[in-house]
Amino acid sequence: YRQAVQLLTELAMQTDKGIVLARALIEHLRRQSVIVPALNAVERASAEAITRANRRLYDALAEPLTDVHRRRLDDLLKRRDNGKTTWLAWLRQSPVKPNSRHMLEHIERLKAWQALDLPSGIERLVHQNRLLKIAREGGQMTPADLAKFEPQRRYATLVALAIEGMATVTDEIIDLHDRILGKLFNAAKNKHQQQFQASGKAINAKVRLFGRIGQALIEAKQAGRDPFAAIEAVMSWDAFAESVTEAQRLAQPEDFDFLHRIGESYATLRRYAPEFLDVLKLRAAPAAKDVLDAIEVLRSMNSDNARKVPTDAPTEFIKPRWQKLVMTDTGIDRRYYELCALSELKNALRSGDIWVQGSRQFKDFEDYLVPPAKFASLKQASELPLAVATDC
């Protein structure tokens, strides 16, 4: 019985599903040619294994904590200065709307989570499934209920809530940025279309006018008459010159792009962009190194209150569509450089070329894999859970 409990305890460190543990025990006993005991004995062994595993999990998460960590975690259960909610309840709130005010408030939440300064790598001390389960259970309880837990369980639960809460808030901040950028792009596109539609009558009048002038010039060429007299036969020269000026004013960019209108919403991004870039811990693959370098330039400019983009700032990430807006005759345009960098950051996060430390949705691909040391030990013990030979 003790051997069965010990065997199941290791599995219970990964999952607390009784059916999984019971099935694993029965399969183990059959491989050992041992008669399977009564079902209640299997259930009792599984339940004891889960209890032991829970204690080990709580100890694994609570033992690395210092007194300072424990005090900070206890403070999460206290009420905020306004007295309406606890710090934990406030930290777990989701943003309401994708705007700069809610973005800044959510950034403050992430800073509060980061201020706990939990021991590095504590999230890797237990299996991800069990960490999520502990956090999920803690999230369903009130702060008063959590305060009643014995210390090891309380601190372990708060650590799990902090790890998962930090990941959730980080992902929500990135999603907010994505949605705000999307709104700005859509607004610029709609404004571009509305202006074109509003100018439709004037544009049509100019096209018809220049069509008449063009026909008059063709006929003058064929008849060998004075082209300027042909124009003045249609309209006076002053009216013609004024119509050319009006046509230039009505004309859209050659590529008919709305991107230049994004600059009109620059102030919206500037309200939160410095805090947004400062709070995220970004890492990049070689493919997106130039984007991350541009972000570092923006961070430096924000900290120094600089307005002019350095002449040696990275520009390789700038797509042709942005090129004419960013690179001007007077140098690099600050507004469009920052807008382009933030847009490319969004794209790089989506593609996985840039990842965010502490995120769940935008984490490093390596975090999905078995750690090298664990892989080496499993391979050496011939315990890799693969249906192929690993000795080749």
Confidence (pLDDT) at 329: 85
Q: Regarding predicted confidence, which is higher, 233 or 336?
A: 336
Cα 157 → chain centroid: 25
Segment among 77-86, 146-155, 328-337 with least mean pLDDT: 77-86
- The stretch 314-324 carries a mean pLDDT of 90
Three-state secondary-structure class, residue 311:
coil
d(CA 59, CA 82): 34
Cα within 13 Å of Cα(284), Cβ side: 16
Inter-residue contact 302 to 315 (CB < 8 Å): no
Specify the pLDDT at position 212: 82
3 state SS of 188:
helix
352: left (phi over 0), alpha (psi -120 to 50) or beta: left
Does pLDDT of 3 surpass 80? no
pLDDT tens readout for residues 354-377: 999 889 888 876 666 766 777 677
In this prediction, residue 387 carries a pLDDT of 57
pTM of the model: 0.77
**Pairing label, strands 331-332, 327-328:** antiparallel
Among 133, 152, 135, 127, which Cα is nearest to 11's?
127
Most confident of 120-129, 203-212, 251-260: 120-129
Provide the pLDDT for residue 221: 86
CA distances to 14, 374, 384 from 381, in Å: 19, 11, 8
Q: For residues 199 and 342, what is the distance between their CA atoms, to the nearest angstrom?
A: 32
**Structural element, H or E, at residue 354:** strand 354-356
Model confidence at 7, in pLDDT bands (50, 70, 90)?
confident
Q: What is the pLDDT of residue 245?
A: 81
Query: Three-class SS of residue 332?
Result: strand
**Pairwise pLDDT comparison (25 vs 311), residue with the higher score:** 311
What is the amino acid identity at position 317?
F
The pLDDT value recorded for residue 198 is: 60
Residues 6 or more apart whose Cβ sits within 8 Å of residue 264: 188, 191
Any bridge partners for residue 331, and if so which?
Answer: 328
Mean predicted confidence (pLDDT) in 173-200: 81
For 391, the 3-state DSSP assignment is: coil
DSSP bridge pairs for 332: 327
The tens digit of pLDDT for each residue in 243-284 reads 888 777 666 555 546 677 888 888 889 999 999 999 999 999
How far apart CA 325 and CA 318 sit, in angstroms, is: 10
Is residue 261 a contact partner of residue 188, using CB atoms and an 8 Å limit? Answer: yes
Task: Identify the pLDDT of residue 392.
Answer: 54
Residue with tokens 């406030």: 90
Q: What is the mean pLDDT of residues 285-294?
A: 93
Q: For the chain, how many helices (H) and strands (E)?
A: 18, 4
**Can you give the pLDDT at residue 250?**
61
Q: How confident is the model at residue 210 (pLDDT cuts 50, 70, 90)?
A: confident
Place of tokens 């259960």: 77
**Contact at 8 Å (CB) between 312 and 301?**
no
3-state secondary structure of 317: coil
* Contact assessment for residue 152 and residue 60, using Cβ atoms and an 8 Å cutoff: no
pLDDT at 69 over 90: yes
Backbone angles phi, psi at 91, to 5 degrees: -65, -25
Please report how many Cα atoms fall inside a 13 Å half-sphere around the Cα of residue 241, on the Cβ side: 4
Average pLDDT score over residue span 118-145: 90
Share of the chain above pLDDT 70, in %: 87
pLDDT of residue 105 exceeding 50: yes
Residues 6+ apart with CB under 8 A from 209: 234, 235, 243
DSSP letter for 158, please. H
- What are 20's two structure tokens? 């999984």
Q: Find, among 76, 80, 63, 206, the residue nearest to 125 by Cα.
A: 63
Task: Using the predicted structure, report yes or no on whether residue 236 has a pLDDT greater than 70.
Answer: yes
Confidence bin at 328 (pLDDT 50/70/90): confident
Structural tokens at position 43: 């259930």
